[in-house]
Amino acid sequence: MSLDAVLSHIDATLPEAIDRLIALLRIPSISTDPAYKDDCARAADWLTEDLKTLGFDARSAPTPGHPMVVGHGGTGNRHILFYGHYDVQPVDPLSLWHSDPFDPQLEDTPKGRVIRARGASDDKGQLMTFIEACRAWKAVHGTLPGKLTIFLEGEEESGSPSLIPFMEANRAELTASLALICDTGLYEDRLPAISTQLRGLAKSEFTIHAASRDLHSGAYGGLARNPLHVMAQLLADLHDAEGRVMVPRFYDDVEELSDKLRQQWQGLAFNHAAYLGDVGLSIPAGEQDRTPLEMLWSRPTAEVNGMWGGYNGAGFKTVLPAEVHAKVSFRLVSRQDPAKVLQSFRTWAEARIPADCRIAWHDEIEGSPASVMSIADPAFEAARAALTEEWGRPAVFIGEGGSIPIAGYFKSILGMDAMLVGFAKDDDQIHSPNEKYDVESFHKGIRSWARILERIA
Amino acid sequence: MSLDAVLSHIDATLPEAIDRLIALLRIPSISTDPAYKDDCARAADWLTEDLKTLGFDARSAPTPGHPMVVGHGGTGNRHILFYGHYDVQPVDPLSLWHSDPFDPQLEDTPKGRVIRARGASDDKGQLMTFIEACRAWKAVHGTLPGKLTIFLEGEEESGSPSLIPFMEANRAELTASLALICDTGLYEDRLPAISTQLRGLAKSEFTIHAASRDLHSGAYGGLARNPLHVMAQLLADLHDAEGRVMVPRFYDDVEELSDKLRQQWQGLAFNHAAYLGDVGLSIPAGEQDRTPLEMLWSRPTAEVNGMWGGYNGAGFKTVLPAEVHAKVSFRLVSRQDPAKVLQSFRTWAEARIPADCRIAWHDEIEGSPASVMSIADPAFEAARAALTEEWGRPAVFIGEGGSIPIAGYFKSILGMDAMLVGFAKDDDQIHSPNEKYDVESFHKGIRSWARILERIA
């Protein structure tokens, strides 16, 4: 069987694949620090050259920031785009690293062999799983496994300033029928997962103004409005006692979980006590008639992310401040429209404050809607079967509580769904000192992509 | 008549009295700035020498900080203590002063002649009204108007660190049957007032702890407890919709206003719309079944003076913080006990937070109770009659929404009530650039004390 030959080739050439990853990891492509600008370009060039050796028509495309790597190759009925990013997080505090973050080390640990370096997991190790799968396929078959576009960004860790303009300027070139994104993790040890829905996000920052100046609570306290009380009341009223968000029409566009996903999620036996216990908590705090996984993945939220007003220095100042501030964000699901949610919130808030106060809004009304993939696309079940075969445990469709902006951009700018498959583990210490990627993640990741591409491309 | 002779002498020698005040104002006795330590001592010496010329047995008494001026003199059936302070606030921003703050200017303004300098009103001008009244009395009668102790502090503007130890160490010497304090103002233009009740103060600072670290709202939002919500709910629950404080037993020791004071306060025709309008507000925010003056003077409050938690920098961080902080203070009246109020608040708050949160309290349980003077002491009605005669409008008993700590110390340490009479005006700009004292306040202030002393000493 041809797939078996590819898998065998992957097994036999793993040492060389690791060497290539190590070579890429040696390049300190920290995108947020201008001192590493040349290194980012160098990483892009390294990847471009590597893709060319596989027969991709590849280039390092300049942007106002760091270059994009774009490569096209192969033939097939279905055009698949693969996304990853070659830039990495800064490494400070350097003193907490046990070895040079850009001198990759192969280490044997009680949990297995790991590759330790900045970017080993996020995202150089992950993106190379896909490229190595292509390489093995090419070695065995002489061709790429399908009509592929590789699209690698160099600004993911620094806010992706060039991403939207680049996608808009290269719409035709980048539009495929499905995007694959390798920047997520296993659901748990050796249990692969495909993220099929990501919550969206809407953000609101505002100030409640009361008196024209700070007031002394001796001279005014009891008579004058204290905006700290107004803010506390407003934010307290944001939820009812059962954890429901009280902004009118907030739930209008929220869909119930499908029976299929509900059943899969139940199968995950999510241990919320352990999940909360890890951070010192014990009580699920969301909508009380929902399961913990629904609270995290499929239900929208309203969360205060900051509030501040009055005196916060040492000692006391008995002040009634003139103003108080808050930042509130909404995690969105299903078809919730960020603009509509923010507008409802504004209207609701303004109707609730006393007539001698006013609210100044500091944000534009914008945000990103949830990403909900059409899992009716047979590629999703095909990928699930492929992952199940590789890992020996039934792969699962999961949700993500957070947003992964690139998935939203693929949908909104290029009109394509994304399938998020990744092999990172919770203990990879991404963004932290001593980042690592399990050799098993790398090896089985390559094999996973070979199996997935064999089925969908 | 002997009082008339004293008043005439005051009128005739006003220019010399102003010259003496100006001499005192030239000494930059800023107590909070160590650079002015010698100047504080110089002001104390100047006052000591001046009191000696009036026959007081006076001394500048050293303390770990700035000296106290203490002088005893005169004879009489009733021992009266007079309190003022010779230290002043800093002068920055100096650029906003129209003249040197320590080069006093006599200025004619549309509202009358003023003495402009730092300390002109707070409190050198005010304390000199009493000393000049004694001087005139001595000049006419050859004796002081009664058995008097003058007690002048040099640290009032910097927290009075030496005051309590000094009072405790000199209890016998300083204990009189009544204290007069000249550090307050007219109720309104040309309407003199005696403050008979001052609210007390209790302060609480605390932190609500939830998760063991800051959480990302994508990974935890909806499931994990957000302490910002817990704090908002707690502070919102501090009052009901009618403005009542919801801490149990909070009102147990709160007495209703006497009919006598209620009647006087009604006579003041307090214009709350103007009072609030001056600071951009319009709606009385306290207990809705109380008059605005009750809200300010005779009802206790619970006010949030600061709350902060989460992210407050530029942009957004979708964080569920580990902790959130607040400062809450209570203005107290009647026999409310600060320790009891704070303990009730703690118990109430701790019972309201979720089981996986906890509150850390950062304050000692302490505070100052309200000062409520025994206006049954005939000195109060006598002083009221004296002030009414001098100013031509019926003087009023008023309350103060804030605390004046010295009045509480006279009561708690020396067991004596205080009568607060002062001639400052709302536009004196104390603590601000271009502080001034009206020559009329100074002149009629001296005459007022002569009339009061004639009746009570």
Render each residue's pLDDT in chain B as its tens digit; 457 residues: 589 999 999 999 999 999 999 999 999 999 999 999 999 999 999 999 999 999 999 999 999 999 999 999 999 989 999 999 999 999 988 999 999 999 999 999 999 999 999 999 999 999 999 999 999 999 999 999 999 999 999 999 988 999 999 999 999 999 999 999 999 999 998 999 999 999 999 999 999 999 999 999 989 999 999 999 999 999 999 999 999 999 999 999 999 999 999 999 999 989 999 999 999 999 999 999 999 999 999 999 999 999 999 999 988 888 999 999 999 999 999 999 999 999 999 999 999 999 999 999 998 888 889 999 989 999 999 999 999 999 999 999 999 998 888 998 999 999 999 999 999 998 999 989 999 999 999 999 999 999 999 999 8
Residues 306 to 335 of B: which have CB under 8 A from any A CB? 306-312, 316-321, 324-325, 327, 329, 331
B118 touches chain A (CB under 8 A): no
Instruction: Give the pLDDT confidence score for residue A407 in this predicted structure.
Output: 93
B194, B387 contact by CB (below 8 A): yes
Q: How confident is the model at residue A310 (pLDDT cuts 50, 70, 90)?
A: very high
Q: Would the CB atoms of B331 and A219 count as touching at under 8 Å?
A: no
CB < 8 Å to A230, chain B: none
**Using CB atoms and an 8 Å cut-off, which of residues 360-379 of chain B contact chain A?**
none
Determine whether the interchain pair B308/A303 forms a contact, defined as Cβ–Cβ distance below 8 Å: no
Mean pLDDT, rounded, of chain A: 96
pLDDT(A28) > 80: yes
The pLDDT assigned to A1 comes to: 54
Angle between helices B227-236 and A227-236 in degrees, nearest 10: 120
Could you tell me which of B284, B292, B286, B290 has the C-alpha nearest to residue B256? Answer: B290
d(CA B41, CA B31) in angstroms, rounded, equals 10
CA dist A167 and A415 (Å) reads 11
Q: A284 and chain B: CB distance < 8 Å anywhere?
A: yes
Among B223, B272, B280, whose Cβ lies nearest the Cβ of A276? B223
d(CA B119, CA B129): 13
C-alpha B351 chain-centroid distance? 35
User: Two tokens at B141?
Assistant: 């009668």
Distance CA B326, CA B203 (A): 11
Q: Is B354 on the interface with A (CB under 8 A)?
A: yes
Q: What is the pLDDT of residues A133-145, one digit of tens each?
A: 999 999 999 999 9
pLDDT digits (tens, 9 = 90+) for A242-299: 999 999 999 999 999 999 999 999 999 899 999 999 999 999 999 999 999 999 999 9
Nearest to A221 among B239, B355, B401 (CB): B401
CB contact under 8 A, B329 and A320: no
Q: What is the pLDDT of residue B160?
A: 92
Contacts A–B by Cβ distance under 8 A: 277
**Distance between CA atoms of residues A404 and B24, nearest Å:** 70
pTM above 0.90, yes or no: no
Give the nearest partner residue to B215 out of A199, A225, A279, using CB atoms. Answer: A279
Dump pLDDT digits (tens) for A325-340.
Answer: 999 999 999 999 999 9
Torsion of CA B308, B310, B316, B317, to 10 degrees: 170
- pLDDT tens per residue across span A195-219: 999 999 999 999 999 999 999 998 9
Which amino acid, A177? S
**Per-residue three-class SS string for chain A:** CHHHHHHHHHHHCHHHHHHHHHHHHCCCCECCCHHHHHHHHHHHHHHHHHHHHCCCEEEEECCCCCCEEEEEECCCCCEEEEEEECCECCCCCHHHCCCCCCCCEEEEECCEEEEECCCCCCCHHHHHHHHHHHHHHHHHHCCCCCEEEEEEECCHHHCCCCHHHHHHHCHHHHCCCEEEECCCECCECCECEEEEEECEEEEEEEEEECCCCCEEHHHHECCECCHHHHHHHHHHCCECCCCCECCCCCCCCCCCCCHHHHHHHHHCCCCHHHHHHCCCCCCCCCCCCCCHHHHHHHCCEEEEEEEEEECCCCCCCCEECCEEEEEEEEEECCCCCHHHHHHHHHHHHHHHCCCCCEEEECCCCCEECCEECCCCCHHHHHHHHHHHHHHCCCCEEEEECCCCHHHHHHHHHHCCCEEEECCECHHHCCCCCCCEEEHHHHHHHHHHHHHHHHHHC
Helix (H) or strand (E) holding B419: strand B418-421
Residues in chain B within 8 Å Cβ distance of A338? none
**Contact criterion met (CB < 8 Å) for A228 and B205:** no
DSSP string, B176-229: -SEEEE---B-SBTTB-EEEEEE-EEEEEEEEEE-SSS-EEHHHHBTTB--HHH
**The predicted structure's pLDDT at residue B1:** 53
**How close A138 comes to chain B (CA, Å)?**
38
Whether B67 contacts B86, CB under 8 Å: no
Give the pLDDT score at A363.
81
Q: What is the pLDDT of residues A442-455, one digit of tens each?
A: 999 999 999 999 99
Distance of alpha carbon B429 from alpha carbon B435, whole angstroms: 5
In the block, tokens 């233009």 appear at B189
For chain A, percent of residues with pLDDT exceeding 90: 91
Confidence (pLDDT) at B172: 96
Residue (of A226, A356, A224, A322) closest to B284 by Cα position: A224
Report in angstroms the alpha-carbon separations of B35 from B25, B40, B185, B288, B444: 17, 10, 30, 49, 35
CA distance B416 to A418: 80
Q: Which domains, ranges and CATH numbers included, belong to chain B?
A: 2-198+370-456 (3.40.630.10), 204-254+300-368 (3.30.70.360)
Give the SS3 label for residue B63.
coil
ipTM: 0.89
Instruction: Write down the H helix ranges in B71-216.
Output: 124-141, 163-169, 171-174
| A238, A281, A311 member nearest B211 (Cβ) | A281
**Residue A105 half-sphere exposure toward CB, CA atoms < 13 A:** 12
Output the six-digit token pair for B326: 């607040």
What are the residues facing A368 on neighbouring strands? A201
The sign of the torsion formed by the CA atoms of B446, B452, B454, B457 equals: negative
Question: Taking Cα atoms as reference points, which of B357, B359, B341, B340 lies closest to residue B349?
Answer: B359
> Is the bond leading into A123 cis (omega within 30 degrees of zero)?
yes
Beta-bridge partner residues of B85: B153
Other C-beta atoms within 10 Å of A133: how many? 26
Residue A437 pLDDT:
98
Phi, psi for B305 (deg, rounded to 5): -105, -10
At A246 the pLDDT is 98
Contact A283 B356 (CB under 8 A): yes
Q: What residue type is assigned to position A57 of the chain?
A: D
Rounded-to-integer distance, Cα A97 and Cα A353, Å: 51
d(CA B251, CA A395): 62
Q: How many CA atoms lie within 13 A of B373 on its CB side?
A: 31
Q: How far apart are the first and last CA of chain A?
A: 17
Per-residue pLDDT at A367 exceeds 90: no
Cα-based torsion angle of the residue sequence A395, A401, A403, A408 in order, rounded to the nearest 10 degrees: 60
